[in-house]
Structure 1
Amino acid sequence: MAVHGTGTASLIVFVLVVAFLSFLYLTDSYVTWPLVGLNVLTVLSLLWLWKLRQQDGGTERRVCVLVLGDIGRSPRMQYHSLSLSKHGYNVTFVGFLDTKPHQDVLRQEKIRIAPIAEVKGVQGPKILKYVTKVIVQSLQLLHVLLRMELQSHILMQNPPGLPNIAVAWLVCVLRGSRFIIDWHNYGYTIMALSHGQRHPVVRLAKWYEHFFGPLATRNLCVTNAMKDDLHRNWGIKATTLYDRPASIFRETPLKLQHELFMRLASTYPQFQHSGSEDVELERTTFSVRDLSDGTVTLRAERPALLLSSTSWTEDEDFSILLKALEEYEGFIKEGALLPSLVCVITGKGPQKEHYKKLIDSLHLEHVKICTPWLEAEDYPVLLGKTDTNVTYCSYCVLVSCMFGCCLPVCAIHFNCLHELVKHEENGLIFRDSQELAEQLKSLLSEFPSSGGRLGLFRRNLRANRGQRWDKNWDQNVLPLFTTL
């Protein structure tokens, strides 16, 4: 074992000599024992620091990827882990293991998942629950990060940043690791949605991010707009890493489409064929498989498939979509030549049950809604078949995955959306339910024909596929690990 840096070793030797000489000199003094105690404490602390910083030949090839959230629902951090492993790094992936990650992550030998438990806090007043949650989560993270092998880097997702920014920074200081933050958003702005900008907890969270954020060695962010804001208001120089689709996101072959529809039909009636049965045919709402030769075709009279992904949180107002679907139903009842819709809303989150009750209260004849949770392998398959998509989330990784499948989107407006969605070119941007309903009507007016706006957007996406994740990551992120 070698000491991490000659400076630390020299300092330890120096303090040991000083401590020993002080002990000899002050043996007969009345301040002997306090000084001896202080010296012993100093020496023990430095010995502990020396132990924490011990490295071996593999230290520079080890990286900790940290997300204080569900690993399975953190696609960008999964892509980071896979990219690091492809370049020979051993990755310790720390986070909640509520949802199964993608099989590529589970199969990769160089990725080790270190699950941590989500802390709920003690029962009682909200402030007490929040404070105890932060304290316990901090101790848990310290325990996990200090016990693992020495890592050359810690790459952390923000948000959430409380308490893991401070904890990760402290661990990096103690162990001599380099600290990289991948800024997806600001944590305090998400908290402000439920508490308001002037709430003391929100103001404390803003100060916390503003103080600890600039302490990172390097920073990544998802858009140029955020890069500019970080530099202007926080003094942080960040590298923009646009979300790009991984290779698994592509248009889905008919056979895989049908297999997924059959699996979904076993649970969700929206995918079940409701007509007469034929022993030679295997049918779903969308597809038909000829059992004699295995050929799969899409049904000409099929409904359009609309997909929306969500984390069911307060920053995603799904009442807009539900109102738009009611208006779409009204268009059909008024005589508009539009297809029926099957709307799949996939995801997990705290407000799911609230919205399921709203969905159950709707009485729609031509629009069917289901809310499945799709496994990591099934999501890109369904995305590669979907006719159009509605997105509310400001996480651009979701939109980029849709574009990888040549799937046009209707996206709710947010400040930096124009960096990804080109209105009237590869999708549409809406601000309210009425605008969304009109967009769905326009996109599906010639369905299932490949003409019309929907077909035009698909052709534009096929012609301008752009970079995939791997090449984009190699250009923008790999140098942060090799040049620091």
Structure 2
Amino acid sequence: MIEFVIEIAFYISTAVTLFIFMLPSQYLPKHRQSHGSSEEPKTTAQVLVLGDIGRSPRMQYHALSIACGGGQVEIIGYHESEVHPDISSHPRISIAAIPPHPSCLQTSNKLLFLLFGPLKVLFQIVSLLRILAYRTRPAEWLLVQNPPSIPTLAIASLVCFFRQTKLIIDWHNFGYTILALKLGDTHPLVKISRWYEKAFCRSAIAHFCVTKAMASVLKKEFDLKTPILPLHDRPARQFRPILDHQEREEFLLSLPEAAPVRSQIKEGTVKVIVSSTSWTPDEDFSLLIDALCRYSEVASTSSPHLPQIFAVITGKGPQREMYVERISSLQREGKLRGVTICTAWLSTGDYARLLASASLGVSLHTSSSGVDLPMKVVDMFGSGLPVVGWSRFEAWPELVTEGVNGRGFGSSDELVEQLVDLLGNPDKLEKLCVGARDAGSYRWDDEWAPVAGKLLGIV
């Protein structure tokens, strides 16, 4: 038994030693490496997203703010969809793409999934470790999006320790609360996930979080002693109101998805509502479908003055096809008379113009933790678009001022009431539009500079 333990210890120590010696040169603040520029950067940073970079706007905004402040930035993540155009063109920003899982590990067979699942995790671990420790230059800062926390936090902590890189965690939510949506709060894996998140987050020298409520949880329940800095999402500059009626109409008519309602758009008899969703369990899209069915019934019976609705749903995710089939079925059954629903995946610029051309935004984000907030609402405010959203969680008042720039709901019936009241009363809707434009006037850079910029030493 003793010989076995000694043998295992030998292999582990050998692996660790090889890992250390194979690392690139350590980062030394007094000996910054040249980046081929006539002007050396104020700082160097890596921004890590264990997901699609193009679908991680907040982390892209971090990168842009650092680069515009004079820093050199490398974004690490999956390069699957279009990134922000300013990311692609900025001379101080580069992208290090994490390789996707091999196609041979993709399967819908449940039995094969039990075998391939661990192999996919192992592939992800090796890929992330390789890109962080060997394929990229050491940087002064590593800014990590959380969640996902597994395996990101452990690998980032390890690499930062050996590279003398300062780790910052940007908390969007908690990984264990998202896992609890599938497995339940008492499941052993949820408890392990919480322990993991709590243990490895201590490697960070500072933490950003999207709400004050989340900062309170990190301080009290995670017992963190390092700085915890609330950094609210704010709209980027591409989100702006469109006040010209002709410009709005021309954009809506140019959308291929708007073909069924083009005549109503020209006549002004249809209202455009927008919802952006990741098609995941923490956004129950059935709430909106049920509400639109009920709206159709009310408009065709007791309230014929109500306008028709053109609902544009943007985003990608695992439950999309399931809901698309359900919508098609309801349309065939005649339960969506006067309501047209389409799904779309738009470029950054077209998405911003869509928000600015719509009449009302809908947020279905229910918050697994109760202390995170949907960034989509911030983008809507930046576009001057008022919001109705699921409001039964603690952090909602940090984002929406009830009756000023939006309204909350807690059920499908309440959502119907809001749609009928606002779309049927233009004056009430316009009042919320004014409030949304006011809320959207405070921009990302205004929020970022005194918090993150100050910490990174570039403002």
Q: Bin the TM-score by the shorter chain.
A: 0.7 to 0.9
Q: 2:341 aligns with which of 369, 378, 390?
A: 369
Q: Which amino acid aligns with 1:141?
A: L
1:322 aligns with 2:310: no
Q: Spell out, residue by residue over 1:127-166, the C-alpha distance to the aligned partner (whole angstroms, 9 max, x if none).
A: 5444332222111011111221111111011011110111
Alpha-carbon distance in 2 for matches of 1:190, 1:376: 27
Displacement of 1:446: 2.7
**Structure 2, unaligned stretches of length 5 or more?**
1-10, 35-40, 368-372
Q: Is the 8 A contact 2:381 2:439 kept in 1?
A: no
SS of the counterpart of 1:371? strand
Amino acid in the other structure paired with 2:361? N
1:119 alignment partner, one of 86, 101, 112: 101
The aligned counterpart of 1:412 is: 390
CA distances 1:442-463 after superposition (whole Å, capped 9, x unpaired)? 001134xxx2x11111122334
Amino acid at match of 1:115: A
The residue type equivalent to 2:338 in the other structure is H
Q: Does the Cα contact within 8 Å between 2:25 and 2:138 map onto a contact in 1?
A: no
Indicate if the aligned counterparts of 2:139 and 2:165 stay in contact, CA closer than 8 A. Answer: yes
Deviates more, 1:87-96 or 1:39-48: 39-48
Taking the aligned partners of 2:117 and 2:168, their CA distance within structure 1 comes to: 26
Q: 1:42 to 1:98 in 2, by over 3 A?
A: closer
Bigger RCO of structures 1 and 2 (CA < 8 A, at least 6 apart): 2
Residue 81 of structure 1 pairs with residue 58 of structure 2: no
**1:126 Cα deviation (Å)?**
5.0
Aligned pair in 2 of structure 1 residues 134, 177: CA closer, same or farther (>3 Å)?
same
Partner-residue secondary structure (3-state), 1:348: coil
SS of the aligned residue for 1:198 comes to coil
Query: Which has the greater radius of gyration?
Result: 1
Q: Distance in 2 between matches of 1:122 and 1:463?
A: 47
Find the counterpart in structure 2 of residue 439 from structure 1.
418
Q: Which aligned pairs between 1:175-214 and structure 2 lie closer than 5 A?
A: 175-214=163-202
Change (3 A) 1:129 1:60: farther
**Paired AA for residue 226 in structure 1:** M
Q: Could you give the per-residue CA deviations for residues 8-60 of structure 1, whole angstroms, max 9, x where no partner exists?
A: xxxxxxxxxxxxxxxxxxxxxxxxxxxxx999999877654573446534586
Say whether the 8 Å CA contact 1:60–1:151 is kept in structure 2: no
- Give the Cα separation in 2 of the matches to 1:208 and 1:354: 33
Distance in 2 (CA, whole Å) between partners of 1:141 and 1:224 is: 31
Per the alignment, do residues 169 and 354 of structure 1 end up closer, same or farther by CA in structure 2, a change over 3 Å counting? same
Change (3 A) 1:438 1:176: same
Deviation at 1:230, TM superposition (A): 0.5
CA positional deviation for 1:377: 1.2
Counterpart Cα distance in 2 of 1:41 and 1:423? 57
Query: Which piece of structure 1 moves more, 163-172 or 55-64?
Result: 55-64
Question: Aligned partners of 1:333 and 1:388: how far apart in 2?
Answer: 21
Q: In 2, Cα distance between the equivalents of 1:195 and 1:325?
A: 30
SS across alignment from 2:357: coil
Does residue 278 of structure 2 align to residue 311 of structure 1? yes
Asked whether 1:226 is paired with 2:214, we answer yes
Partner of 1:479 in structure 2? Answer: 454
Deviation at 1:268, TM superposition (A): 4.5
Counterpart for residue 95 of structure 1: 77
Does residue 1:138 correspond to 2:125, yes or no? yes
Shift of the 479–366 alpha-carbon distance from structure 1 to 2, 3 Å rule, reads: same
Q: Any conservation in 2 of the 1:408–1:427 contact (CA below 8 Å)?
A: yes
Q: Single out whichever of 458-467 and 321-330 deviates more from structure 2.
A: 458-467
CA distance in 1, matches of 2:328, 2:20: 62
The answer to whether the 8 A contact 1:72-1:376 is kept is: no
Distance 1:127 1:189, change over 3 A: farther
SS at match of 1:209: helix
The TM-score with structure 2 as length reference comes to 0.85
Match of 2:324 in 1: 356
TM-score (structure 1 length as normaliser) = 0.81
Q: Is 1:242 paired with 2:219?
A: no
User: Would the alpha carbon gap of residues 250 and 258 (structure 1) be closer, same or farther in structure 2, given more than 3 Å must change?
Assistant: same
- The one-letter amino acid of 1:472's match is E
2:32 is aligned with 1:56: yes
The match for 2:3 is none
Against the structure 1 CA distance between its residues 228 and 349, is the aligned structure 2 distance closer, same or farther, given a 3 Å change threshold?
same
Q: How many residues align?
A: 420
Aligned residue for 2:48? 66
The alpha-carbon deviation at position 119 of structure 1 amounts to: 3.1
Q: Quote the Cα distance in structure 2 between the aligned partners of 1:43 and 1:342.
A: 61
**What residue number does 1:386 align with?**
358
CA contact 1:53–1:174 (8 Å) conserved in 2: no
Deviates more, 1:46-55 or 1:347-356: 46-55
C-alpha distance 398-74 of structure 1, shift in aligned 2 (>3 A): same
Letter in 2 for 1:332: A
* More displaced 10-residue stretch of structure 1: 217-226 or 401-410: 401-410
Q: Deviations over 1:228-262 (max 9, x none)?
A: 00000002241000111111111124454344324
Equivalent residues in 2 for 1:134-173, closer than 5 Å: 134-146=121-133, 147-173=135-161
Contact 2:208 2:228 in 1 (8 A): yes
Contact 1:249-1:404 at 8 Å conserved across structures: yes
1:210 corresponds to which letter in structure 2? K
Greater shift after overlay, 58-67 or 311-320?
58-67
Q: By how many angstroms is 1:97 displaced?
A: 1.4
Q: Distance in 2 between matches of 1:245 and 1:42?
A: 44
Q: Return closer, same or farther for 1:210/1:46 CA change in 2, 3 Å cut-off.
A: closer
Contact 1:158–1:187 (8 Å) recurs in 2 = yes
Q: CA deviation at 1:174?
A: 1.0
Change (3 A) 1:106 1:270: farther
Asked whether the 8 Å contact 2:211–2:231 carries over to 1, the reply is: yes
